[in-house]
Every structure is written in structure tokens, then in C-alpha cells.
């Protein structure tokens, strides 16, 4: 019979040892002897009970078990024994942390419950959605380009072919950025299964076949991501609604798509399906992009309505019914019928299965793990990063957080500064922001000035025959320092980083206005907007300095 030795802490007398021994021997196929003097259990097993079950039994008795020769906090101090870091999840935060930790000499164990690795961005988020949006934009441009002499063309859309190409690229990028890294990193191991805490230092991993394994680590990083949240609407749960995942993979184009939600994912997909030919109705609980500068949502609403999208603002969904391939959505504004419903009302952290209470890890609303600027949780040696935390849910934030978490887990001191965080909504025109809006600044008691430049004053927008949108800058009055920028424009995502760099380097409006920008570029609009603080740009010559 196999013999397993387990160190036990927490026993105070021989009676404790007898209690622990009786608990172990109650398990099928187990013969155990527990010594109080040696703080050790010697367990013989027929193999019917795995290590994880033994440790759980000891934990249930009120003691703490550790497999002999396993790594666990605190470390022995043996310089020849590498630090062991367990990372739950295999998305952007996880891999950034794993790579950095391995570079620092740590041994890394990645734990993943899903069939594929890579997390949200490459599999069901950023990558496939941007490929869909690119295709939809090309369809739209064939009938909305504004160039004389080029006849309009209504293309025949093969949605199945689009999805197949999309998924081919998902597979390629997942292999290049995730799977191949595992092949080339000998110090990073992948374990398949669902992880949960046994205690602060031990994770129990349940494999797909139901077997369990205990993983002990000196440090633990939680990077389990988030999933689409389902609002509590009567009748919704039992209907064949889409989340963004199903929408991206569907080879069927709906005739009438009803979109529940008015933030980033909802708006990107709503417009993409409209460009592909679907009738689209958006049900917004308040307004479009309600957390951003009010003008962004208002002007994007005008764009959407010009494209034929129906928007019901300040609308609450009361009930959803599905029958014979039709959705009937009852709202405070009346009923809406369509053949498909997309639910995009936010995301909840994937933390429910982790048994965080057994480790003492604190969470907030929607299960998000609370972390500080070092990615530390409420437990000293447990860290968290990415969409499962209270940090902003952007893949580049997740990756940066994962890298810094790894630095800190291996003895460094790295922080994540989110004070200058550029964001993009990939509609057309795009929505991009960084820093404070004018309202946010005033709500914080700041004395600010702002200027909003319509794109009809930007030469490149005129040359593109697309003057939809604006560029807005917000600055402190007494210093002139730029503290915010909001853009609605084609290529806004390519423009916003220049504004972010200006803010990061504490540039003033005057300094930005004095910079050299190449003529007939959209980013020149930043310079023109800065110039409006002191002059009328409509009276300037082309590329006036």
C-alpha cells in the first residue's frame, strides 16, 4: 500500500492526535497513525483516497496538514529550492505573471479549468470581436463611403465563412501567445482542473475526471477573469438569449437583434450587426455610455440613429418571453419583438468556486477581489490581477497587473498607476477617453476650463469625408495642465495615446498647442483643440503653427 506522510500543525495534546487519526481512518481504504510528538501522520492507502481528500479531512478536524516535502509558506530558506507560485487562470494577467515570475527564478504552476487556455481576450473577447467589427465595417463602407465616382455595392455576406476565419485567427494567436509559451518555458507547468482553497496555503484542484490534487505554494495569484452577468429579469433565464460569446460565434445573422445594455460590449456588437444588415434595437437603462462624458453618448446616439439603430433610453426591462423563434421583451416603454436577444449588461468575477472564505480573501460587489496598488489581497501571500479584481476590466490593465504581481511575489516592489488610463470603444466612429471629464473634475472641486472642437475643423476629417464627432480637452485653469481628453472620431483609439502621454508628462495646453503634428493626420486635432483655448482655429491657415 502507498505510504503518505503528512505534517500536522494545530494539535495541542495526544487527544488531538487521536481525533485526527480517527478522522483519517474513517475514510475508505485508509490506515493512519498520527503522532502528537512528531506532529506527523503516517497514512497507508489503497489508492481510493487521494492526497486532497486526506488534507480536507485533517482540515475538517480543526488542524492543518502539509504533505511531506511539499512547498508551502513560510519557506525553509533553502536557496536551492526555488520559490513556488501557483496561478489560478491562464489569461493575460496569468501569463504575464508566469513569464515574469519564471524570469525571476520561480517555479510556476498554472491551473486552468477551461478546455482552452488564454482567457477572455484572445478566445471570446478582444480578438474575435475586433475581427467581427472589421468585417462589418468593410460591409458598411461599401454603401457609405462618400467618394464620388465609386459606385456603391451591396455585398453578399457569408457569415459562416466570417466566423471560420475569425476562429482560425483566434487559434493562431492563442497558440502564438499562450500555448507556445508553455512549450518554451520549462519552469511553467499547467494543471487542468477547477481550483478551490483548502486553506491559505493550499489549493485543491479537481480534474475533469473528478480526481483531486493538492497544490501547495509559497505565493498564490488569482487571475480567474469574469463572465457575462445575467440581470434578474423575469423569464430571461430560460430563453435562448445571446451573451457576447454566442453573438461572436453565431453563423446566423438575426433579422432583428434586441440589445439589452448600453455600454462598451453592447454598443460595439449592436453596430456591428447593424452594419451586417440586421435591424437593431438598443434598450438602455439610462443613456449610452452613461459613465463617460455626456457629450460622447449623445453624439454617438445621433450616429447610431442615423444608421437606423433604434435606441430606447431610460428604459427598464420588465419581462422576457420566447416562443416560436421570437423574443418579446416587455419594457417600461412598451413591447419590443425580435428574433434574437443579446444580453450585455456587465460582467461578474469568476470567484464563486474558489472558496475564498477558507483563505480569508476579501471581495466586494459581484465577487470582485479587493486588491491594492501592489495587487495584494487581504491575505499577505495571496495576490490577484485582472477582471476578477476591483481594477478596471481592460486586458492591458490585467497584463500590467500580472507583471507587477509577479515582481512583488518574488521580492520586488512594483505598483500599478492607473491615474492615466486611456480607454477605447471600438464603434465607428470610435470613442476614446483618458483622465477626467469636465463634470468629474468639477465634482472633485477642481477649477477647470475645457474646449470642444468639432471634426469639421480637422483637415484630415474633411479629407476623409467623415466629420462625425469631436475632440475635447479639459485643463486646470491655474496651471494649464491637461487632466482629461474625450474623443469621438474615426481612429480615436489611435489618437488618445498622444493625449495620455501629454498627461503623463504633465504638459500644459500651451505646450501641446506648440507641438509639431504631421499635417493631414487625425491626431493633429489634439493640437487644434489645444489652440482653441487661446484663438479661433477657423481663422487659421492650413497646418498653422
pLDDT per position as a tens digit, 180-223:
999 999 999 999 999 999 999 999 999 999 999 999 999 999 99
Residues 6+ apart with CB under 8 A from 323: none
- Range 36-58 average pLDDT: 82
The yes-or-no verdict on residue 76 having pLDDT over 60 is no
The yes-or-no verdict on residue 399 having pLDDT over 80 is yes
Query: So what's the pLDDT on residue 293?
Result: 97
Kindly report the backbone phi and psi dihedral angles of residue 398, in degrees, each rounded to the nearest multiple of 5, phi listed first: -60, -45
- Range 90-105 average pLDDT: 97
Query: So what's the pLDDT on residue 73?
Result: 44
Alpha carbon 417 to chain centroid distance?
A: 17
- Range 439-461 average pLDDT: 97
Query: So what's the pLDDT on residue 458?
Result: 96
Q: Residues for the chain: how many in total? A: 545
Please give the model's pTM, rounded to 2 decimal places: 0.87
423-536: CATH architecture: 2-Layer Sandwich (3.30)
Comparing CA positions, the residue from 445, 426, 120, 450 lying closest to residue 289 is 426
- Range 68-79 average pLDDT: 47
Confidence of residue 66 (pLDDT cuts 50, 70, 90): confident
Query: So what's the pLDDT on residue 542?
Result: 67
- Range 296-308 average pLDDT: 98
The yes-or-no verdict on residue 75 having pLDDT over 60 is no
Cβ distance 419 to 475 under 8 Å? no
Cα–Cα distance, 63 to 72 (Å, whole number)? 16
Indicate the pairing of strand 340-343 with strand 256-260: parallel
The yes-or-no verdict on residue 426 having pLDDT over 60 is yes
The yes-or-no verdict on residue 323 having pLDDT over 80 is yes
Query: So what's the pLDDT on residue 25?
Result: 87
The yes-or-no verdict on residue 85 having pLDDT over 90 is yes
The yes-or-no verdict on residue 69 having pLDDT over 80 is no
Q: Quick one: which H or E segment has residue 108?
A: strand 107-112
Query: So what's the pLDDT on residue 250?
Result: 98
Query: So what's the pLDDT on residue 72?
Result: 44
Question: What burial letters (b/e) apply to 23-57, b meaning 16+ CB within 10 Å?
Answer: bbeebeebebebebeebbbbbebeeebbbbbbbbb
Query: So what's the pLDDT on residue 266?
Result: 98
Q: How many contiguous H segments (helices) and E segments (strands) does the chain have?
A: 16, 26
What angle do helix axes 92-103 and 395-409 make, rounded to 10 degrees? 30
Query: So what's the pLDDT on residue 545?
Result: 63
- Range 308-336 average pLDDT: 97
Long-range (24+ apart) CB contacts under 8 A made by 362-366 are: 364/390, 366/229
The yes-or-no verdict on residue 78 having pLDDT over 80 is no
**379: phi > 0 → left, psi -120 to 50 → alpha, else beta; which?**
beta
Task: List, for residues 345-365, the tens digit of each pLDDT value.
Answer: 999 999 999 999 999 999 997
Task: List, for residues 133-184, the tens digit of each pLDDT value.
Answer: 999 999 999 999 999 999 999 999 999 999 999 999 999 999 999 999 999 9
Q: What percent of the chain has pLDDT over 70?
A: 96
HSE at residue 492, side-chain half, CA atoms within 13 A, is 29
HSE at residue 407, side-chain half, CA atoms within 13 A, is 14
Query: So what's the pLDDT on residue 274?
Result: 98
Confidence of residue 415 (pLDDT cuts 50, 70, 90): very high
Query: So what's the pLDDT on residue 77?
Result: 39
Distance of CA 348 to CAs 228, 289, 351, 352, 363, Å?
6, 19, 9, 10, 12
Quick check: do 82-229+346-418 and 244-345 share a fold? yes
- Range 9-37 average pLDDT: 85
What angle do helix axes 294-306 and 264-275 make, rounded to 10 degrees? 20
Q: Which three cell numbers stand for residue 133?
A: 467589427
Query: So what's the pLDDT on residue 541?
Result: 65
The yes-or-no verdict on residue 318 having pLDDT over 60 is yes
- Range 370-386 average pLDDT: 97
Query: So what's the pLDDT on residue 237?
Result: 96
Lowest mean pLDDT: which of 3-7, 269-273, 438-442, 489-493? Answer: 3-7
**Rounded mean pLDDT of the chain?**
94
Task: List, for residues 466-498, the tens digit of each pLDDT value.
Answer: 999 999 999 999 999 999 999 999 999 999 999
> 82-229+346-418, which class in CATH?
alpha beta
3-67 has which fold? Alpha-Beta Plaits (3.30.70)
- Sketch the domain layout of the chain as residue ranges: 3-67, 82-229+346-418, 244-345, 423-536
What are the residue numbers of the active site? 11, 13, 16, 63, 121, 126, 542-543
244-345: CATH architecture: 3-Layer(bba) Sandwich (3.50)
Amino acid at each position: 500500500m502507498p505510504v503518505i506522510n503528512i505534517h500536522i500543525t494545530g494539535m495541542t495534546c495526544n487527544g488531538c492526535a487521536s481525533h485526527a487519526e480517527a478522522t483519517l481512518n474513517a475514510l475508505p481504504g485508509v490506515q493512519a497513525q498520527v503522532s502528537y510528538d512528531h506532529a506527523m501522520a503516517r497514512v497507508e492507502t489503497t489508492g481510493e483516497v487521494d492526497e486532497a481528500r486526506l488534507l480536507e479531512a485533517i482540515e475538517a478536524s480543526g488542524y492543518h496538514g502539509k504533505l511531506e516535502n511539499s512547498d508551502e509558506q513560510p519557506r525553509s530558506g533553502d536557496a536551492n529550492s526555488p520559490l513556488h507560485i501557483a496561478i489560478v487562470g491562464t489569461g493575460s494577467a496569468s501569463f504575464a505573471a508566469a513569464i515574469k515570475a519564471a524570469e525571476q527564478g520561480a517555479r510556476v504552476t498554472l491551473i486552468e479549468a477551461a478546455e482552452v487556455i488564454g482567457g477572455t481576450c484572445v478566445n471570446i473577447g478582444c480578438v474575435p470581436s475586433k475581427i467581427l467589427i472589421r468585417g462589418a465595417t468593410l460591409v458598411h463602407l461599401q454603401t457609405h463611403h462618400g467618394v464620388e465616382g465609386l459606385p456603391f455595392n451591396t455585398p453578399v455576406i457569408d457569415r459562416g465563412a466570417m466566423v471560420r476565419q475569425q476562429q482560425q485567427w483566434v487559434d493562431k494567436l492563442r497558440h502564438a501567445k499562450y500555448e507556445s509559451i508553455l512549450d518554451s518555458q520549462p519552469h511553467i507547468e499547467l494543471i487542468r482542473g477547477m481550483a478551490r482553497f483548502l486553506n491559505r496555503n493550499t489549493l485543491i484542484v479537481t480534474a475533469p475526471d473528478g480526481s483531486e490534487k493538492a497544490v501547495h505554494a509559497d505565493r498564490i495569484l488569482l487571475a480567474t477573469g469574469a463572465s457575462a452577468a445575467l440581470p434578474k429579469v423575469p423569464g430571461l433565464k430560460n430563453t435562448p438569449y445571446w451573451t457576447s460569446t454566442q453573438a461572436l460565434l453565431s453563423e446566423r445573422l438575426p433579422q432583428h437583434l434586441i440589445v439589452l445594455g448600453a455600454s462598451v460590449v453592447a454598443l460595439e456588437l449592436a453596430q456591428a450587426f447593424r452594419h451586417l444588415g440586421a435591424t437593431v434595437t438598443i434598450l438602455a437603462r439610462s443613456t449610452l455610455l452613461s459613465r463617460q462624458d455626456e457629450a460622447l453618448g449623445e453624439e454617438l446616439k445621433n450616429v447610431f440613429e442615423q444608421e437606423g439603430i433604434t435606441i430606447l433610453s431610460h428604459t427598464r426591462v420588465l419581462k422576457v418571453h420566447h416562443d416560436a423563434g421570437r423574443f418579446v421583451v416587455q419594457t417600461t416603454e412598451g413591447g419590443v419583438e425580435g428574433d434574437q436577444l443579446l444580453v450585455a449588461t456587465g460582467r461578474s468575477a469568476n470567484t464563486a468556486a474558489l472558496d475564498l472564505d477558507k483563505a480569508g480573501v476579501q471581495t466586494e460587489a459581484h465577487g470582485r477581489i479587493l486588491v491594492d496598488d501592489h495587487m495584494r489581497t487581504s491575505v499577505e501571500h495571496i495576490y490577484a490581477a485582472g477582471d476578477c479584481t476591483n481594477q478596471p476590466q481592460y486586458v492591458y490593465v490585467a497584463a500590467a497587473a500580472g507583471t507587477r504581481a509577479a515582481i512583488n511575489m518574488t521580492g520586488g516592489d512594483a505598483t500599478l498607476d492607473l491615474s492615466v488610463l486611456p480607454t477605447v470603444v471600438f464603434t465607428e466612429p470610435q470613442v476614446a477617453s483618458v483622465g477626467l471629464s469636465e463634470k468629474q473634475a468639477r465634482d472633485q472641486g477642481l477649477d477647470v476650463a475645457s474646449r470642444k472642437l468639432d471634426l469639421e475643423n480637422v483637415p484630415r476629417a474633411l479629407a476623409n469625408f467623415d466629420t462625425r464627432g469631436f475632440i475635447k480637452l479639459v485643463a486646470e485653469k491655474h496651471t494649464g495642465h491637461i487632466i482629461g481628453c474625450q474623443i469621438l472620431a474615426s481612429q480615436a483609439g489611435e489618437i488618445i495615446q498622444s493625449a495620455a502621454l501629454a498627461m503623463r508628462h504633465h504638459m500644459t495646453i500651451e505646450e501641446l498647442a506648440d507641438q509639431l503634428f504631421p499635417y493631414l493626420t487625425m491626431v493633429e486635432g489634439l493640437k487644434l483643440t489645444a489652440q482653441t483655448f487661446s484663438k479661433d482655429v477657423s481663422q487659421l491657415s492650413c497646418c498653422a503653427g
